[in-house]
Chains A and B, each alone.
Chain A
Protein backbone atom coordinates (compact mmCIF):
# COMPACT_ATOMS: atom_id res chain seq x y z
CA UNK A 1 0.00 0.00 0.00
CA UNK A 2 1.24 3.46 -0.70
CA UNK A 3 0.02 6.97 -0.20
CA UNK A 4 0.82 9.54 -2.85
CA UNK A 5 0.44 13.26 -2.40
CA UNK A 6 1.74 16.47 -3.96
CA UNK A 7 5.28 17.17 -2.81
CA UNK A 8 7.50 20.13 -3.60
CA UNK A 9 10.94 18.51 -3.58
CA UNK A 10 12.14 19.99 -6.87
CA UNK A 11 11.28 23.15 -8.79
CA UNK A 12 7.86 21.67 -9.53
CA UNK A 13 5.17 20.27 -7.26
CA UNK A 14 4.58 16.67 -8.29
CA UNK A 15 2.82 13.61 -6.92
CA UNK A 16 5.15 11.28 -5.06
CA UNK A 17 4.92 8.58 -2.46
CA UNK A 18 4.93 9.91 1.09
CA UNK A 19 5.39 8.19 4.44
CA UNK A 20 4.51 11.17 6.62
CA UNK A 21 1.84 13.81 6.08
CA UNK A 22 4.25 16.70 6.57
CA UNK A 23 5.99 15.66 3.32
CA UNK A 24 2.89 16.74 1.42
CA UNK A 25 2.32 20.23 0.05
CA UNK A 26 -1.37 20.99 -0.41
CA UNK A 27 -0.81 24.70 -0.89
CA UNK A 28 -0.11 24.75 -4.63
CA UNK A 29 -2.81 25.31 -7.23
CA UNK A 30 -1.97 21.98 -8.87
CA UNK A 31 0.82 19.53 -9.64
CA UNK A 32 2.80 19.74 -12.84
CA UNK A 33 1.69 16.34 -14.08
CA UNK A 34 -1.63 14.67 -13.34
CA UNK A 35 -2.72 11.59 -11.39
CA UNK A 36 -3.08 9.75 -14.71
CA UNK A 37 0.44 8.37 -14.17
CA UNK A 38 -0.77 6.14 -11.31
CA UNK A 39 -3.38 4.40 -13.43
CA UNK A 40 -1.84 4.68 -16.86
CA UNK A 41 1.92 5.10 -16.48
CA UNK A 42 4.20 6.61 -19.12
CA UNK A 43 5.59 3.19 -19.84
CA UNK A 44 4.63 -0.27 -18.66
CA UNK A 45 5.46 -3.82 -19.71
CA UNK A 46 2.42 -5.73 -20.91
CA UNK A 47 4.00 -9.05 -21.67
CA UNK A 48 7.34 -10.67 -21.98
CA UNK A 49 8.44 -13.37 -24.35
CA UNK A 50 11.37 -15.59 -25.13
CA UNK A 51 12.28 -17.43 -28.29
CA UNK A 52 13.13 -21.10 -28.49
CA UNK A 53 14.29 -21.61 -32.05
CA UNK A 54 11.25 -20.28 -33.90
CA UNK A 55 8.76 -20.83 -31.09
CA UNK A 56 7.62 -17.80 -29.18
CA UNK A 57 6.92 -18.42 -25.52
CA UNK A 58 4.72 -15.76 -23.97
CA UNK A 59 5.18 -14.91 -20.35
CA UNK A 60 3.52 -12.59 -17.89
CA UNK A 61 0.37 -12.06 -19.94
CA UNK A 62 -1.55 -11.16 -16.85
CA UNK A 63 -0.82 -7.74 -15.40
CA UNK A 64 0.98 -7.89 -12.07
CA UNK A 65 -1.00 -7.23 -8.89
CA UNK A 66 -1.03 -3.45 -8.58
CA UNK A 67 -0.03 -1.74 -5.36
CA UNK A 68 -3.00 -0.44 -3.42
CA UNK A 69 -2.75 3.31 -3.72
CA UNK A 70 -4.35 6.20 -1.91
CA UNK A 71 -4.08 9.44 -3.80
CA UNK A 72 -4.53 12.33 -1.44
CA UNK A 73 -4.58 15.93 -2.53
CA UNK A 74 -5.62 15.56 -6.14
CA UNK A 75 -7.68 18.45 -7.43
CA UNK A 76 -11.26 17.99 -8.65
CA UNK A 77 -10.11 18.49 -12.23
CA UNK A 78 -7.72 15.55 -12.00
CA UNK A 79 -10.26 13.34 -10.25
CA UNK A 80 -12.82 14.15 -12.94
CA UNK A 81 -10.55 12.58 -15.54
CA UNK A 82 -11.04 9.15 -14.00
CA UNK A 83 -14.68 8.54 -15.00
CA UNK A 84 -13.67 9.69 -18.48
CA UNK A 85 -10.76 7.27 -18.66
CA UNK A 86 -12.85 4.50 -17.07
CA UNK A 87 -15.27 4.60 -20.02
CA UNK A 88 -12.47 4.60 -22.54
CA UNK A 89 -10.48 1.78 -21.00
CA UNK A 90 -13.54 -0.46 -20.70
CA UNK A 91 -15.07 0.39 -24.08
CA UNK A 92 -14.22 -2.01 -26.88
CA UNK A 93 -11.75 -3.92 -24.77
CA UNK A 94 -11.22 -4.19 -21.04
CA UNK A 95 -7.80 -2.75 -20.40
CA UNK A 96 -6.87 -4.78 -17.36
CA UNK A 97 -3.69 -2.80 -16.85
CA UNK A 98 -5.72 0.35 -16.24
CA UNK A 99 -8.76 -1.29 -14.63
CA UNK A 100 -6.77 -3.33 -12.10
CA UNK A 101 -4.94 -0.22 -10.99
CA UNK A 102 -8.20 1.69 -10.91
CA UNK A 103 -9.85 -0.72 -8.50
CA UNK A 104 -6.75 -0.64 -6.32
CA UNK A 105 -6.83 3.17 -6.07
CA UNK A 106 -8.71 5.44 -3.70
CA UNK A 107 -8.92 9.12 -4.58
CA UNK A 108 -9.17 11.74 -1.85
CA UNK A 109 -9.41 15.13 -3.51
CA UNK A 110 -9.06 18.55 -2.00
CA UNK A 111 -11.31 21.30 -3.33
CA UNK A 112 -9.65 24.45 -4.64
CA UNK A 113 -9.64 27.75 -2.83
CA UNK A 114 -7.42 29.34 -5.43
CA UNK A 115 -6.68 29.09 -9.13
CA UNK A 116 -4.14 30.51 -11.53
CA UNK A 117 -4.24 32.19 -14.95
CA UNK A 118 -4.52 28.86 -16.73
CA UNK A 119 -7.31 27.08 -14.82
CA UNK A 120 -10.62 26.77 -16.66
CA UNK A 121 -12.62 23.92 -15.08
CA UNK A 122 -15.73 26.11 -14.87
CA UNK A 123 -15.56 26.81 -18.59
CA UNK A 124 -16.19 23.14 -19.41
CA UNK A 125 -18.79 22.31 -16.82
CA UNK A 126 -16.77 21.44 -13.73
CA UNK A 127 -15.89 23.45 -10.64
CA UNK A 128 -13.38 23.83 -7.84
CA UNK A 129 -15.48 21.52 -5.62
CA UNK A 130 -16.56 19.01 -8.25
CA UNK A 131 -17.06 15.48 -6.93
CA UNK A 132 -16.64 13.52 -10.17
CA UNK A 133 -14.07 10.78 -9.87
CA UNK A 134 -13.27 11.34 -6.21
CA UNK A 135 -14.05 8.80 -3.52
CA UNK A 136 -13.82 11.47 -0.86
CA UNK A 137 -13.77 15.22 -1.33
CA UNK A 138 -12.13 17.38 1.32
CA UNK A 139 -13.40 20.93 1.23
CA UNK A 140 -11.23 23.42 3.12
CA UNK A 141 -13.22 25.16 5.85
CA UNK A 142 -12.78 28.40 7.68
CA UNK A 143 -10.86 27.11 10.65
CA UNK A 144 -8.16 25.20 8.79
CA UNK A 145 -10.14 21.97 8.92
CA UNK A 146 -11.61 20.09 6.00
CA UNK A 147 -15.19 19.07 5.45
CA UNK A 148 -15.13 15.48 4.22
CA UNK A 149 -17.80 14.65 1.64
CA UNK A 150 -17.99 11.00 0.59
CA UNK A 151 -18.66 10.80 -3.16
CA UNK A 152 -18.76 7.04 -3.64
CA UNK A 153 -19.54 3.96 -1.59
CA UNK A 154 -15.84 3.43 -1.24
CA UNK A 155 -15.47 6.95 0.13
CA UNK A 156 -18.30 6.40 2.60
CA UNK A 157 -16.72 3.09 3.62
CA UNK A 158 -13.37 4.81 4.16
CA UNK A 159 -14.95 7.35 6.50
CA UNK A 160 -16.82 4.59 8.34
CA UNK A 161 -13.63 2.54 8.77
CA UNK A 162 -11.83 5.51 10.28
CA UNK A 163 -14.74 7.04 12.17
CA UNK A 164 -12.49 8.19 14.99
CA UNK A 165 -10.68 10.57 12.64
CA UNK A 166 -13.85 12.44 11.73
CA UNK A 167 -16.33 14.51 13.69
CA UNK A 168 -19.84 15.35 12.63
CA UNK A 169 -19.86 18.74 10.98
CA UNK A 170 -22.32 21.37 12.02
CA UNK A 171 -22.49 23.30 8.78
CA UNK A 172 -21.23 22.35 5.32
CA UNK A 173 -18.07 24.18 4.33
CA UNK A 174 -18.30 26.14 1.16
CA UNK A 175 -15.53 26.89 -1.23
CA UNK A 176 -14.20 30.43 -1.11
CA UNK A 177 -16.32 32.67 -3.28
CA UNK A 178 -13.06 34.32 -4.27
CA UNK A 179 -11.92 31.47 -6.48
CA UNK A 180 -15.26 31.19 -8.26
CA UNK A 181 -15.01 34.85 -9.16
CA UNK A 182 -11.59 34.30 -10.74
CA UNK A 183 -12.63 31.28 -12.80
CA UNK A 184 -14.05 31.70 -16.31
CA UNK A 185 -17.69 31.54 -17.37
CA UNK A 186 -19.02 28.30 -18.90
CA UNK A 187 -18.56 27.74 -22.60
CA UNK A 188 -21.39 26.43 -24.74
CA UNK A 189 -19.88 23.02 -25.51
CA UNK A 190 -22.80 21.98 -27.74
CA UNK A 191 -22.28 25.05 -29.86
CA UNK A 192 -18.57 24.25 -30.09
CA UNK A 193 -19.30 20.65 -31.09
CA UNK A 194 -21.67 21.91 -33.79
CA UNK A 195 -19.04 24.16 -35.30
CA UNK A 196 -16.46 21.37 -35.21
CA UNK A 197 -18.88 19.01 -36.91
CA UNK A 198 -19.29 21.40 -39.81
CA UNK A 199 -15.73 22.67 -40.17
CA UNK A 200 -13.40 19.73 -40.64
CA UNK A 201 -12.09 21.57 -43.69
CA UNK A 202 -11.48 25.16 -42.67
CA UNK A 203 -8.65 27.69 -42.89
CA UNK A 204 -9.03 28.04 -39.13
CA UNK A 205 -6.86 24.97 -38.54
CA UNK A 206 -3.81 26.27 -40.38
CA UNK A 207 -3.89 29.62 -38.59
CA UNK A 208 -4.66 28.04 -35.22
CA UNK A 209 -1.72 25.64 -35.41
CA UNK A 210 0.94 27.75 -37.08
CA UNK A 211 2.92 28.42 -33.93
CA UNK A 212 2.49 24.91 -32.49
CA UNK A 213 5.82 23.11 -32.44
CA UNK A 214 4.35 19.61 -32.32
CA UNK A 215 5.70 18.36 -29.01
CA UNK A 216 3.76 16.14 -26.61
CA UNK A 217 3.57 18.44 -23.59
CA UNK A 218 -0.16 19.09 -23.83
CA UNK A 219 -1.10 15.45 -24.44
CA UNK A 220 1.26 13.94 -21.88
CA UNK A 221 0.37 16.31 -19.05
CA UNK A 222 -3.35 16.16 -19.86
CA UNK A 223 -5.23 14.02 -17.32
CA UNK A 224 -7.64 12.73 -19.98
CA UNK A 225 -5.34 12.09 -22.95
CA UNK A 226 -4.94 8.34 -23.21
CA UNK A 227 -3.42 7.35 -26.55
CA UNK A 228 -0.65 4.81 -26.40
CA UNK A 229 1.89 3.07 -28.54
CA UNK A 230 2.83 -0.59 -28.29
CA UNK A 231 6.48 -1.30 -28.80
CA UNK A 232 8.64 -4.39 -28.56
CA UNK A 233 12.01 -4.23 -26.90
CA UNK A 234 13.90 -7.19 -28.17
CA UNK A 235 17.50 -8.20 -27.87
CA UNK A 236 17.68 -9.46 -24.33
CA UNK A 237 18.62 -12.87 -23.16
CA UNK A 238 16.95 -14.94 -20.49
CA UNK A 239 18.18 -18.41 -19.51
CA UNK A 240 20.18 -18.54 -22.71
CA UNK A 241 17.15 -17.71 -24.87
CA UNK A 242 16.61 -14.52 -26.86
CA UNK A 243 13.93 -12.57 -25.06
CA UNK A 244 12.09 -9.32 -25.07
CA UNK A 245 9.42 -7.18 -23.54
CA UNK A 246 6.32 -5.66 -25.05
CA UNK A 247 5.53 -2.24 -23.65
CA UNK A 248 2.63 0.16 -23.67
CA UNK A 249 3.88 3.76 -23.84
CA UNK A 250 2.22 7.16 -23.92
CA UNK A 251 1.82 8.40 -27.46
CA UNK A 252 0.71 11.78 -28.78
CA UNK A 253 -1.52 12.67 -31.70
CA UNK A 254 0.69 15.72 -32.04
CA UNK A 255 3.68 13.62 -33.08
CA UNK A 256 4.33 13.43 -36.82
CA UNK A 257 4.36 9.65 -36.85
CA UNK A 258 1.20 9.13 -34.86
CA UNK A 259 -0.89 8.16 -37.88
CA UNK A 260 1.93 7.11 -40.19
CA UNK A 261 0.82 3.96 -42.01
CA UNK A 262 3.09 1.07 -42.91
CA UNK A 263 2.45 2.03 -46.54
CA UNK A 264 4.12 5.37 -45.92
CA UNK A 265 0.85 7.29 -46.20
CA UNK A 266 0.04 9.66 -43.36
CA UNK A 267 -3.56 10.89 -43.19
CA UNK A 268 -2.46 13.64 -40.82
CA UNK A 269 0.66 14.80 -42.60
CA UNK A 270 0.91 18.33 -41.22
CA UNK A 271 0.69 20.33 -38.01
CA UNK A 272 -2.75 21.70 -38.90
CA UNK A 273 -4.39 18.28 -39.31
CA UNK A 274 -2.84 17.06 -36.08
CA UNK A 275 -3.95 20.11 -34.11
CA UNK A 276 -7.42 19.73 -35.59
CA UNK A 277 -7.46 16.14 -34.36
CA UNK A 278 -6.76 17.29 -30.81
CA UNK A 279 -9.64 19.75 -30.81
CA UNK A 280 -11.99 17.35 -32.57
CA UNK A 281 -11.24 14.42 -30.30
CA UNK A 282 -11.68 16.45 -27.13
CA UNK A 283 -14.76 18.44 -28.06
CA UNK A 284 -16.60 16.46 -30.75
CA UNK A 285 -15.62 12.81 -31.23
CA UNK A 286 -15.29 11.83 -27.56
CA UNK A 287 -18.48 13.69 -26.53
CA UNK A 288 -20.41 12.06 -29.41
CA UNK A 289 -19.26 8.61 -28.41
CA UNK A 290 -19.11 8.80 -24.65
CA UNK A 291 -21.29 11.74 -23.67
CA UNK A 292 -18.71 14.01 -22.09
CA UNK A 293 -15.90 16.30 -23.23
CA UNK A 294 -12.39 14.87 -23.11
CA UNK A 295 -11.15 17.74 -20.97
CA UNK A 296 -11.40 18.72 -17.32
CA UNK A 297 -10.16 22.28 -17.60
CA UNK A 298 -7.08 21.70 -15.46
CA UNK A 299 -5.12 24.10 -17.66
CA UNK A 300 -1.95 22.03 -17.84
CA UNK A 301 -1.88 22.28 -21.63
CA UNK A 302 -1.84 26.05 -21.35
CA UNK A 303 0.59 26.14 -18.45
CA UNK A 304 3.12 23.80 -20.05
CA UNK A 305 2.93 24.75 -23.73
CA UNK A 306 6.34 26.08 -24.75
CA UNK A 307 4.74 28.47 -27.24
CA UNK A 308 1.60 29.40 -25.30
CA UNK A 309 -0.98 27.64 -27.44
CA UNK A 310 -4.18 28.42 -25.61
CA UNK A 311 -7.05 25.99 -26.06
CA UNK A 312 -9.39 28.47 -24.32
CA UNK A 313 -8.82 31.14 -26.97
CA UNK A 314 -9.59 28.64 -29.69
CA UNK A 315 -12.73 27.36 -27.96
CA UNK A 316 -13.98 30.92 -27.51
CA UNK A 317 -13.30 31.76 -31.15
CA UNK A 318 -15.11 28.61 -32.26
CA UNK A 319 -18.03 29.28 -29.94
CA UNK A 320 -18.55 32.79 -31.24
CA UNK A 321 -18.12 31.69 -34.86
CA UNK A 322 -20.93 29.18 -34.34
CA UNK A 323 -23.02 31.75 -32.48
CA UNK A 324 -22.77 33.99 -35.54
CA UNK A 325 -23.77 31.10 -37.79
CA UNK A 326 -26.71 30.23 -35.53
CA UNK A 327 -27.87 33.84 -35.59
CA UNK A 328 -27.80 33.91 -39.36
CA UNK A 329 -29.80 30.71 -39.52
CA UNK A 330 -32.42 32.12 -37.19
CA UNK A 331 -32.64 35.40 -39.08
Chain B
Protein backbone atom coordinates (compact mmCIF):
# COMPACT_ATOMS: atom_id res chain seq x y z
CA UNK B 1 0.00 0.00 0.00
CA UNK B 2 2.77 2.39 0.91
CA UNK B 3 4.56 1.76 -2.37
CA UNK B 4 1.41 2.64 -4.26
CA UNK B 5 0.95 5.77 -2.16
CA UNK B 6 4.51 6.90 -2.86
CA UNK B 7 4.14 6.08 -6.53
CA UNK B 8 1.01 8.19 -6.75
CA UNK B 9 2.83 11.03 -5.02
CA UNK B 10 5.74 10.75 -7.46
CA UNK B 11 3.37 10.82 -10.42
CA UNK B 12 1.54 13.89 -9.17
CA UNK B 13 4.80 15.77 -8.74
CA UNK B 14 6.45 14.60 -11.95
CA UNK B 15 3.45 15.41 -14.13
CA UNK B 16 3.13 18.76 -12.41
CA UNK B 17 -0.44 18.02 -11.39
CA UNK B 18 0.61 18.98 -7.86
CA UNK B 19 3.31 21.42 -6.79
CA UNK B 20 3.61 19.74 -3.40
CA UNK B 21 2.44 16.75 -1.44
CA UNK B 22 1.30 17.13 2.15
CA UNK B 23 1.57 13.78 3.85
CA UNK B 24 3.06 11.98 6.83
CA UNK B 25 6.60 10.91 7.62
CA UNK B 26 7.91 8.97 10.57
CA UNK B 27 8.70 11.25 13.49
CA UNK B 28 11.93 11.07 15.47
CA UNK B 29 9.97 9.72 18.40
CA UNK B 30 9.46 6.02 17.59
CA UNK B 31 5.90 5.06 16.72
CA UNK B 32 4.80 8.60 15.97
CA UNK B 33 4.16 10.28 12.64
CA UNK B 34 4.63 13.89 11.66
CA UNK B 35 3.28 16.04 8.81
CA UNK B 36 5.64 16.57 5.91
CA UNK B 37 5.53 18.72 2.79
CA UNK B 38 7.50 17.44 -0.17
CA UNK B 39 8.05 19.21 -3.45
CA UNK B 40 10.47 16.78 -5.14
CA UNK B 41 9.51 13.37 -6.49
CA UNK B 42 12.64 11.79 -5.00
CA UNK B 43 11.41 12.68 -1.49
CA UNK B 44 8.27 10.57 -1.94
CA UNK B 45 10.05 7.69 -0.20
CA UNK B 46 9.76 9.61 3.05
CA UNK B 47 5.97 9.29 2.96
CA UNK B 48 4.38 6.78 5.29
CA UNK B 49 0.89 5.89 6.32
CA UNK B 50 -0.03 3.94 9.43
CA UNK B 51 -2.34 4.10 12.44
CA UNK B 52 -0.25 6.82 14.13
CA UNK B 53 -0.89 9.23 11.24
CA UNK B 54 -3.48 11.17 13.15
CA UNK B 55 -2.96 14.81 12.09
CA UNK B 56 -5.70 16.35 9.98
CA UNK B 57 -3.59 17.66 7.14
CA UNK B 58 -6.42 19.83 5.80
CA UNK B 59 -5.25 22.30 8.47
CA UNK B 60 -2.35 23.14 6.16
CA UNK B 61 -4.52 24.02 3.16
CA UNK B 62 -5.23 27.51 4.47
CA UNK B 63 -1.62 28.29 5.42
CA UNK B 64 -0.16 31.12 3.29
CA UNK B 65 3.20 29.31 3.05
CA UNK B 66 1.43 26.27 1.58
CA UNK B 67 -0.88 28.23 -0.70
CA UNK B 68 2.16 29.92 -2.18
CA UNK B 69 3.51 26.58 -3.34
CA UNK B 70 0.57 25.99 -5.70
CA UNK B 71 -1.67 22.97 -6.19
CA UNK B 72 -1.53 20.67 -3.19
CA UNK B 73 -2.02 16.92 -3.14
CA UNK B 74 -2.86 15.83 0.38
CA UNK B 75 -2.78 12.39 1.92
CA UNK B 76 -6.28 12.35 3.40
CA UNK B 77 -8.23 10.07 5.69
CA UNK B 78 -12.02 10.31 5.37
CA UNK B 79 -12.32 12.97 8.10
CA UNK B 80 -9.54 14.94 6.42
CA UNK B 81 -11.32 14.77 3.05
CA UNK B 82 -14.47 16.00 4.77
CA UNK B 83 -12.53 18.89 6.28
CA UNK B 84 -11.15 19.85 2.86
CA UNK B 85 -14.70 19.71 1.48
CA UNK B 86 -15.95 22.09 4.18
CA UNK B 87 -13.10 24.46 3.30
CA UNK B 88 -14.19 24.32 -0.34
CA UNK B 89 -17.80 24.87 0.57
CA UNK B 90 -16.81 27.86 2.69
CA UNK B 91 -14.76 29.30 -0.17
CA UNK B 92 -11.50 29.10 1.73
CA UNK B 93 -9.84 26.80 -0.74
CA UNK B 94 -10.39 26.61 -4.51
CA UNK B 95 -11.53 23.06 -5.31
CA UNK B 96 -9.08 22.73 -8.20
CA UNK B 97 -6.17 23.68 -5.93
CA UNK B 98 -6.49 20.45 -3.94
CA UNK B 99 -5.89 16.90 -5.11
CA UNK B 100 -6.39 13.92 -2.84
CA UNK B 101 -4.34 10.82 -2.08
CA UNK B 102 -7.17 9.27 -0.11
CA UNK B 103 -6.41 6.64 2.50
CA UNK B 104 -8.30 4.82 5.18
CA UNK B 105 -7.71 2.46 8.06
CA UNK B 106 -10.09 -0.50 8.32
CA UNK B 107 -11.46 -1.47 11.75
CA UNK B 108 -9.01 -4.38 11.62
CA UNK B 109 -6.17 -1.84 11.37
CA UNK B 110 -5.34 -2.41 7.72
CA UNK B 111 -4.21 0.68 5.84
CA UNK B 112 -5.64 1.09 2.38
CA UNK B 113 -5.10 3.49 -0.48
CA UNK B 114 -8.47 4.41 -1.95
CA UNK B 115 -8.98 4.05 -5.67
CA UNK B 116 -11.13 7.20 -5.66
CA UNK B 117 -9.18 10.28 -6.63
CA UNK B 118 -11.41 13.12 -7.78
CA UNK B 119 -13.53 15.03 -5.34
CA UNK B 120 -16.70 13.75 -7.03
CA UNK B 121 -15.52 10.14 -6.64
CA UNK B 122 -14.52 10.76 -3.03
CA UNK B 123 -17.77 12.47 -2.16
CA UNK B 124 -19.66 9.51 -3.57
CA UNK B 125 -17.41 7.13 -1.59
CA UNK B 126 -17.90 9.04 1.66
CA UNK B 127 -21.66 9.29 1.28
CA UNK B 128 -21.96 5.58 0.52
CA UNK B 129 -19.33 4.10 2.83
CA UNK B 130 -18.26 6.47 5.58
CA UNK B 131 -20.98 7.73 7.88
CA UNK B 132 -19.84 10.46 10.29
CA UNK B 133 -17.78 8.65 12.92
CA UNK B 134 -18.55 11.36 15.48
CA UNK B 135 -22.26 10.45 15.29
CA UNK B 136 -21.88 6.67 15.60
CA UNK B 137 -23.88 5.14 18.47
CA UNK B 138 -20.70 4.21 20.29
CA UNK B 139 -19.33 7.70 19.93
CA UNK B 140 -22.49 9.26 21.36
CA UNK B 141 -22.61 7.13 24.52
CA UNK B 142 -20.69 9.64 26.65
CA UNK B 143 -22.79 12.47 25.23
CA UNK B 144 -25.93 10.62 26.31
CA UNK B 145 -24.46 10.16 29.78
CA UNK B 146 -23.82 13.90 30.04
CA UNK B 147 -27.29 14.71 28.72
CA UNK B 148 -28.78 12.62 31.49
CA UNK B 149 -27.03 14.63 34.19
CA UNK B 150 -28.92 17.39 35.95
CA UNK B 151 -28.00 20.88 34.79
CA UNK B 152 -25.93 21.72 37.87
CA UNK B 153 -23.83 18.55 37.51
CA UNK B 154 -23.07 19.18 33.87
CA UNK B 155 -22.04 22.78 34.50
CA UNK B 156 -19.80 21.64 37.34
CA UNK B 157 -18.28 18.95 35.12
CA UNK B 158 -17.38 21.41 32.38
CA UNK B 159 -16.11 24.02 34.83
CA UNK B 160 -13.77 21.38 36.20
CA UNK B 161 -12.61 20.31 32.76
CA UNK B 162 -12.01 23.86 31.55
CA UNK B 163 -10.22 24.83 34.76
CA UNK B 164 -7.23 22.93 33.37
CA UNK B 165 -7.19 24.92 30.13
CA UNK B 166 -4.00 26.95 29.76
CA UNK B 167 -5.12 28.80 26.61
CA UNK B 168 -2.38 27.36 24.44
CA UNK B 169 -4.89 27.25 21.54
CA UNK B 170 -3.52 23.93 20.32
CA UNK B 171 -7.16 22.91 19.79
CA UNK B 172 -7.65 25.87 17.47
CA UNK B 173 -4.34 25.63 15.66
CA UNK B 174 -4.66 21.96 14.70
CA UNK B 175 -8.27 22.37 13.57
CA UNK B 176 -8.70 22.72 9.79
CA UNK B 177 -11.91 24.68 10.31
CA UNK B 178 -10.37 27.25 12.62
CA UNK B 179 -8.85 29.34 9.88
CA UNK B 180 -9.77 32.90 10.81
CA UNK B 181 -6.79 35.17 10.31
CA UNK B 182 -7.84 37.00 13.46
CA UNK B 183 -9.66 34.73 15.86
CA UNK B 184 -12.44 36.21 17.99
CA UNK B 185 -10.38 35.25 21.04
CA UNK B 186 -7.52 37.43 19.81
CA UNK B 187 -9.56 40.56 19.29
CA UNK B 188 -9.14 43.28 21.87
CA UNK B 189 -10.84 46.34 20.42
CA UNK B 190 -13.22 45.41 21.84
CA UNK B 191 -12.37 42.22 23.66
CA UNK B 192 -14.99 39.50 23.41
CA UNK B 193 -13.28 36.71 25.30
CA UNK B 194 -11.01 37.25 28.26
CA UNK B 195 -7.54 35.91 27.51
CA UNK B 196 -6.72 34.91 31.09
CA UNK B 197 -6.64 31.21 31.91
CA UNK B 198 -9.20 31.49 34.68
CA UNK B 199 -12.59 29.79 34.91
CA UNK B 200 -14.51 32.58 33.26
CA UNK B 201 -12.12 33.13 30.37
CA UNK B 202 -11.68 29.42 29.74
CA UNK B 203 -15.40 28.74 29.72
CA UNK B 204 -15.93 31.60 27.28
CA UNK B 205 -13.15 30.41 24.99
CA UNK B 206 -14.01 26.73 24.86
CA UNK B 207 -17.75 27.21 24.53
CA UNK B 208 -17.33 29.87 21.86
CA UNK B 209 -15.05 27.61 19.85
CA UNK B 210 -17.48 24.72 20.12
CA UNK B 211 -20.29 26.94 18.87
CA UNK B 212 -18.20 28.28 16.01
CA UNK B 213 -17.62 24.71 14.91
CA UNK B 214 -21.24 23.54 15.17
CA UNK B 215 -22.26 22.06 11.86
CA UNK B 216 -18.66 22.40 10.61
CA UNK B 217 -16.65 20.03 12.79
CA UNK B 218 -15.76 16.81 10.96
CA UNK B 219 -15.02 14.86 14.12
CA UNK B 220 -11.34 14.15 13.44
CA UNK B 221 -10.63 14.49 17.17
CA UNK B 222 -7.34 16.34 16.70
CA UNK B 223 -8.34 19.09 19.12
CA UNK B 224 -8.78 16.61 21.95
CA UNK B 225 -5.62 14.74 21.05
CA UNK B 226 -3.59 17.95 20.88
CA UNK B 227 -4.90 19.35 24.16
CA UNK B 228 -2.04 19.23 26.66
CA UNK B 229 -4.50 19.42 29.54
CA UNK B 230 -6.54 16.37 28.57
CA UNK B 231 -9.83 18.22 28.19
CA UNK B 232 -12.47 15.99 26.52
CA UNK B 233 -13.26 18.51 23.80
CA UNK B 234 -14.84 15.94 21.51
CA UNK B 235 -17.65 15.36 24.02
CA UNK B 236 -18.76 18.91 23.40
CA UNK B 237 -18.20 18.71 19.65
CA UNK B 238 -20.10 15.45 19.39
CA UNK B 239 -22.97 16.90 21.39
CA UNK B 240 -23.23 19.84 19.02
CA UNK B 241 -22.90 17.56 15.98
CA UNK B 242 -25.78 15.50 17.36
CA UNK B 243 -27.91 18.59 17.95
CA UNK B 244 -27.18 19.80 14.43
CA UNK B 245 -28.08 16.41 12.99
CA UNK B 246 -31.31 16.26 14.95
CA UNK B 247 -32.33 19.87 14.33
CA UNK B 248 -31.25 20.29 10.73
CA UNK B 249 -32.45 17.27 8.83
CA UNK B 250 -29.52 14.94 9.45
CA UNK B 251 -26.81 17.44 8.46
CA UNK B 252 -23.22 16.38 9.02
CA UNK B 253 -20.24 18.50 7.95
CA UNK B 254 -18.10 17.68 4.95
CA UNK B 255 -20.48 15.71 2.77
CA UNK B 256 -20.60 18.43 0.15
CA UNK B 257 -17.88 20.61 -1.35
CA UNK B 258 -20.19 23.23 -2.79
CA UNK B 259 -23.62 24.68 -2.23
CA UNK B 260 -25.20 26.39 0.71
CA UNK B 261 -23.57 26.24 4.10
CA UNK B 262 -25.72 25.39 7.08
CA UNK B 263 -25.32 28.50 9.24
CA UNK B 264 -23.64 30.96 6.93
CA UNK B 265 -26.58 31.45 4.63
CA UNK B 266 -29.86 33.26 5.25
CA UNK B 267 -33.15 33.09 3.46
CA UNK B 268 -36.38 34.88 4.42
CA UNK B 269 -38.08 31.51 4.23
CA UNK B 270 -35.90 30.03 7.01
CA UNK B 271 -38.14 28.63 9.79
CA UNK B 272 -38.88 31.15 12.49
CA UNK B 273 -41.11 29.04 14.71
CA UNK B 274 -38.68 29.31 17.62
CA UNK B 275 -39.59 32.98 17.96
CA UNK B 276 -42.59 33.15 20.28
Q: Is A146 an interface residue (CB 8 A)?
A: no
Of the listed stretches B34-42, B85-93, B117-125, B143-151, chain A binds B34-42
Of the listed stretches B10-18, B221-229, B268-276, chain A binds B221-229
Write out the residue numbers on chain A whose beta carbons fall within 8 Å of the beta carbon of B195: 229, 231, 249
Interchain CB contact under 8 A, A43 and B197: yes
Question: Given A43-B197, A233-B194, A306-B225, A117 and B30 touching (CB < 8 A)?
Answer: yes
Q: How large is the interface on B (under 10, 10 to 19, 20 to 34, 35 or more residues)?
A: 35 or more
Write out the residue numbers on chain A whose beta carbons fall within 8 Å of the beta carbon of B168: 215-217, 219-220, 252
CB interface residues, B 136-183, toward A, < 8 Å: 166-170, 172-174
Write out the residue numbers on chain B whose beta carbons fall within 8 Å of the beta carbon of A249: 167, 195-197
Q: How long is the Cα–Cα vector from A249 to B185 in the complex, in angstroms? A: 14
Report, nearest first, the 7 A-B pairs whose CB atoms are least far apart: A306-B226, A308-B34, A216-B168, A215-B170, A308-B27, A215-B173, A213-B173
Interchain CB contact under 8 A, A308 and B170: no
Q: Is B131 an interface residue (CB 8 A)?
A: no
**Candidates B29, B64, B173; contact of A308 at CB < 8 Å:** B29
Q: How long is the Cα–Cα vector from A257 to B185 in the complex, in angstroms? A: 11
Write out the residue numbers on chain B whose beta carbons fall within 8 Å of the beta carbon of A10: 230
Write out the residue numbers on chain B whose beta carbons fall within 8 Å of the beta carbon of A42: 166-167, 197
A interface, CB within 8 angstroms of B: 10-12, 32-33, 42-43, 117-118, 206, 210-211, 213-217, 219-221, 229, 231, 233, 247, 249-250, 252, 255-257, 270-272, 302, 304, 306-310, 312-313
Q: How many A-B residue pairs have CB under 8 A?
A: 105
Write out the residue numbers on chain A whose beta carbons fall within 8 Å of the beta carbon of B174: 213, 215, 306-307
Interchain CB contact under 8 A, B34 and A270: no
Q: Is B28 an interface residue (CB 8 A)?
A: yes
Interchain CB contact under 8 A, A306 and B186: no
Q: List 18 A-B contacts (CB under 8 A).
A: A12-B229, A12-B230, A42-B197, A213-B173, A215-B169, A215-B174, A216-B168, A216-B169, A216-B170, A229-B195, A249-B167, A250-B167, A270-B64, A272-B65, A307-B34, A307-B35, A308-B34, A312-B28
Return A62 CB to nearest CB of chain B, in Å. 20
Q: Is B59 an interface residue (CB 8 A)?
A: yes
